[in-house]
Structure 1
Amino acid sequence: MDKAELVKQLKQTKESIVLLYAFNSTGKTRLSVGYKDYTKVLNGGDHAGVYYNAYSEDLFAWDNDEPNDNENVRLTISESSLDQFIVKFNDEAPIRDKLLPYRPKYDFKLVPKQSDNPELGWGSVIFFLASEPEKQIKISRGEERVFVWCFFLALFEIDGWVDKQNAHFFIDDPVSSLDDNNIFITARLLLQLFEKHCDSKKIILTTHHMGLFSLLHNWLRSPENEGKFKTKNIVREESKKEIEGKEIIEIKEREQIENKFLARFLEKENDEYNLIGLKRGNVLYHILILKVLKKAIAKNELYTYHFVLLRQVMESISSFLGKGRFSYVLDVLNIPESNYKSDIINALSHENIYIEKSSNMNPDNKELFIKIYSDLTTHFKFSL
């Protein structure tokens, strides 16, 4: 199908959450623009939804203040149609709240376009360390991406913008230039966004990052989230019967449980797009998770959140073998005290402590992690 047909198909999906994995250069940003243009036509020429993509990021640019030896370096906010909504930020609190899980090492301040007329809105952002608030700094590319992403997450909640453009969110690749820990945190924030809005609007997420795609897909379909991302529908079925020479129509109702989400691989060849189901992808992304863990072990950069990824692999293996608990894999591997150690993994991979997942593993947990990974990859002989 061409881009126009793909856009129409995405608009018509009954699922409110759409996850799309695609390699770079597939045209994800152009797809978000195509979706915007198509839904504007359907909405009488007005924006129907809100967006985060490369164009969103381009609204922010560094003024390095080189003539003054970078004394007043700042991140400028270009004028755009969003100004009417950005002006509604009374202070930095909404953005700071979204940044909190990332635990930034810097602080920031919004600067008005005109100091004598703050009603004109915000024109730039200055960054500084809490220990030196008078000295403006330039944050890293990764930190900048996180800041802009959190800026838009806060903007999504501004009254007026979302109220008027409330049909959908289209989020394109929010994790470029981010490390594994920040990708994990971003995944958790996206899951919260899904949970909050999936019953009121469509949310489309495109990404080239298999780890992000894998995390979200597994969380969406996990039993603990079943009540949030599944819906029950009553299906009426008619059947005809003949009783004593008379044709009788019998109507039966049955309950049908359906997902609120759809996950697909997006492939492109020449100018033709194709949406691929995950029968092949399930194998692919769990192999990729194992490769991520292998790399983390080799670099001696093991963080607590890596237990989340290891648990995902064990859950997949257990499910494939027809078992309902990931600790079954520990039994198969003859891990000593497997019940006790499954409790440790369960605690370290619990979603309620994700903000703290940037901490390094302590020596005992690192030893346990490497032991399980080594035994698992030896016993099941994955091709990595």
Structure 2
Amino acid sequence: MSKELKEIAQELKDANRKVQLIYAFNGSGKTRLSREFKELIAPQSDIEEDDEPELARNKILYYSAFTEDLFYWDNDLESGVEPKLKIQPNTFTDWLIELLKDLGEDGNIITNFQRYANDKVTPNFNEAYKRKSKDHNGKLVEITIPAFSEVTFQVAAKPSDLTNNTSVDSEDGEAKVEGQYETIKISKGEESNFIWSVFYTLLEQVVFTLNETDTTNRLTDKFDGLEYVFIDDPVSSLDDSHLIELAVDLAGLIKSSKSDLKFVTTTHSPLFYNVLCNELSNKAYEKQPDEKFKLSYNPNKEFKKYRLEKQADGLFQILDQPTDSPFSYHLFLLSELRLAIKDGQIRKYHFSFIRNVLEKMATFLGYNYWPALLPKTAEGKPDPFANRILNLSSHSAHAGEEVAYIEDKDKEKLDVLVKYLIETYGFKKQEA
């Protein structure tokens, strides 16, 4: 049954599970769902004008693409100033910076970043400093840059650089000798990993703190009212091995939570989804003082998984994913293809689906390249339709091209190809 995202958010809340995991394609409403859920848990409409507003973070922490928008680069390289990642000041980041600084979590952020991204790069948080800046009237004034509001990234300098130490201008105008290290601008993928590492370090501290049942013994009272953590599509730029490691660590952290804190996680990555499913489907036990083990996490009662699908009418469906079967991504894609063909709703992105299926089949069957799986021409060569699949499945920066006109002959060819793959390679026939 199709529903509004607001209704689905209410369902997730009413489910009352320790952890809920949702798979959905990009563009299927994951991020909008996270915002609807946040509004449900901490509605802005409840705030009285004369009252001090109860900030949403007191009830829910959430990570999404908007979290990454709070970090940006200062790229004033022409002035000789080193590249630095700056943190956009607002009520959340001010709270986050102050909290992590007070708890001394900078070392753990560095450890997490180097573990998941690059152990050759070291993030460095700034100390508080003063600098000159023009105000809105153009007058030069002195401002204070707070500690932990900027991050630089260093790597060991190349051997050829060590004989001639490089100096750059620091914010106070004095020459700064880099010596055996050089400051770099990290890649976009590493930047995403760093931001996730900041959030994950905070999450570790949240779980650790709330596991202390005696509130007077907690390191901080900042998390006492926290009810939910919503993680929307965490880092997907990792290679498979690091993505698996991240999923295992996240699942372990969730299972170690003894408080009433609840977690909702969404992802478009089938690998991340499957690893989390496997890890969260296993029971966890805690050793007691008498050396016996007590069940501390029971997936049968605490874990639920779903698929979120966007319908043609703009509404959504959230479907239970059976707990007794794995999520088979290629079978899901084939099902989506057959449904699109049946309904006459073939779009450009469906050619990305068929390419994805072919790539996974080629890997499983031991072929070096997926066109070898296509029907052969009279000369015994792979069908030239492979080139059309390549062209139509190529990623585009223009979202409008995703609904570009598809020629009827390409639609017919896709239909023939899907039937060929199912019949030739022995796929179990399922209802479209």
Unaligned ranges ≥5, structure 1: 232-257, 301-380
The 1-side partners of 2:327 and 2:153 are apart by 43
The 1-side partners of 2:305 and 2:181 are apart by 47
Kindly indicate whether residue 150 of structure 2 is the aligned counterpart of residue 124 of structure 1: yes
Kindly indicate whether residue 326 of structure 2 is the aligned counterpart of residue 282 of structure 1: yes
Q: Secondary structure at the match of 1:95?
A: helix
Of the three residues 113, 138, 153, the one matched with 2:185 is 138
In structure 1, give the amino acid aligned to 2:73: W
Of the three residues 107, 111, 123, the one matched with 1:97 is 111
Cα offset for 1:160?
5.1
Distance 1:20 1:153, change over 3 A: same
Cα offset for 1:43?
10
Instruction: Kindly report which structure 2 residues correspond to 1:207-356, keeping only aligned pairs within 5 A, or say none.
Output: 207-222=267-282, 227-230=295-298, 258-269=300-311, 270-279=313-322, 282=326, 284-285=328-329, 291=360, 294=363
Aligned partners of 2:232 and 2:265 also within 8 Å:
yes
Q: RMSD across aligned C-alpha pairs, in angstroms?
A: 3.6
Cα offset for 1:211?
0.6
Aligned partners of 1:85 and 1:161 also within 8 Å:
no
Aligned to 1:114: 129
Distance 1:88 1:223, change over 3 A: closer
Q: Secondary structure at the match of 2:126?
A: strand
In structure 2, give the amino acid aligned to 1:213: Y
Larger Cα-atom Rg: 2
Aligned to 1:177: 237
Of the three residues 34, 38, 63, the one matched with 2:40 is 38
Q: Secondary structure at the match of 1:87?
A: helix
Aligned partners of 1:142 and 1:178 also within 8 Å:
yes
1:224-272 CA-partner distances (Å, limit 9, x unpaired):
77944317xxxxxxxxxxxxxxxxxxxxxxxxxx331100001111331
Q: Higher strand fraction: Structure 1 or Structure 2?
A: 1
Q: Secondary structure at the match of 1:294?
A: helix
The 2-side partners of 1:150 and 1:296 are apart by 37
Aligned partners of 1:86 and 1:155 also within 8 Å:
no
1:288-319 CA-partner distances (Å, limit 9, x unpaired):
9992992897789xxxxxxxxxxxxxxxxxxx
Cα offset for 1:189?
2.1
TM (norm. structure 2) is: 0.56
Aligned residues: 278
The 2-side partners of 1:94 and 1:296 are apart by 42
In structure 1, give the amino acid aligned to 2:239: D
Aligned partners of 1:108 and 1:127 also within 8 Å:
yes
1:18-69 CA-partner distances (Å, limit 9, x unpaired):
0000000012111111111111139954321111111111011111223236
Distance 1:16 1:31, change over 3 A: same
The 2-side partners of 1:209 and 1:278 are apart by 15
Determine what percentage of the aligned residue pairs are the same residue: 27
In structure 1, give the amino acid aligned to 2:125: L
Distance 1:188 1:101, change over 3 A: farther
Distance 1:22 1:198, change over 3 A: farther
Cα offset for 1:201?
0.9
Of the three residues 79, 86, 89, the one matched with 2:97 is 86
Aligned to 1:76: 86
